[in-house]
């Protein structure tokens, strides 16, 4: 086995574990906002894009309103978790030396579609969250906020890039398989 292949396998194993850690963090972030107010306050003060509405409004919710907002915030996270799971599976395929196979490339394609979907769902979820949080307020105090950031633009381009790369790699593997069948 060449030194490059060995490095690919080692780095892929490390990245597969990092994907698993990212999955756990992604699944835990939204629940932590409600369970630990100090964590939520620090996260919101660090970046306004993490939580699309004021923290006091978010933590004052109860009942059905709380459940609807929680589910709305979790949808983009769950889509990203699905994508990260496939990215992890792709890295595990690389670690097993299954680099140019249709299954491995399919994992990259699924990850890229999930990244694109999550990027498009995040601003929508933020808008719906602001609506659901303020819907019980008196008329004139209700609000809908729409937020887009450079992170969303970057994620869209990266998701598109990964999708194109997966298509190109899929075609390359198909051509390789076809050429091998002629010999």
- Per-residue pLDDT tens for 5-28? 999 999 999 999 999 999 999 898
- Among 84-93, 112-121, 129-138, which is the least confidently predicted range? 129-138
Q: Grade residue 1 by pLDDT with cuts at 50, 70 and 90.
A: confident
Q: Which tokens hold the place of 178?
A: 């076809």
Question: What are 10-13's contacts with CB under 8 Å, separation 24+?
Answer: 12/91, 12/92, 12/94, 12/95, 13/91, 13/92, 13/95
Helices (H), 55-149: 55-59, 63-95, 102-134
Highest mean pLDDT among 74-88, 115-129, 134-148: 74-88
Q: Grade residue 151 by pLDDT with cuts at 50, 70 and 90.
A: confident
What's the pLDDT tens digit per position in 41-97? Answer: 555 554 445 555 666 666 677 778 878 888 888 899 999 999 999 999 999 999 999
pLDDT for 46 equals 46
């Amino acid at each position: 086995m060449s030194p490059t292949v060995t490095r690919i396998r080692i780095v892929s194993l490390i990245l597969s574990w990092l994907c698993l850690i990212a999955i756990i963090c992604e699944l835990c972030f939204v629940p932590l906002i409600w369970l630990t107010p100090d964590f939520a306050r620090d996260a919101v003060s660090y970046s306004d894009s993490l939580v699309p509405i004021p923290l006091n409004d978010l933590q004052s919710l109860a009942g059905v309103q709380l459940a609807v907002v929680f589910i709305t915030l979790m949808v983009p996270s769950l889509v990203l978790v699905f994508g990260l799971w496939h990215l992890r599976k792709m890295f595990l395929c690389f670690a097993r030396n299954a680099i140019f196979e249709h299954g491995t490339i399919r994992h990259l394609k699924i990850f890229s579609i999930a990244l694109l979907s999550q990027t498009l769902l995040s601003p929508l979820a933020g808008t719906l969250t602001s609506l659901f949080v303020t819907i019980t307020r008196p008329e004139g105090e209700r609000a809908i906020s729409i937020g887009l950031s450079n992170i969303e633009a970057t994620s869209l381009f990266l998701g598109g890039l990964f999708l194109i790369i997966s298509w190109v790699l899929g075609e390359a593997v198909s051509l390789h398989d076809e050429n091998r069948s002629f010999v």
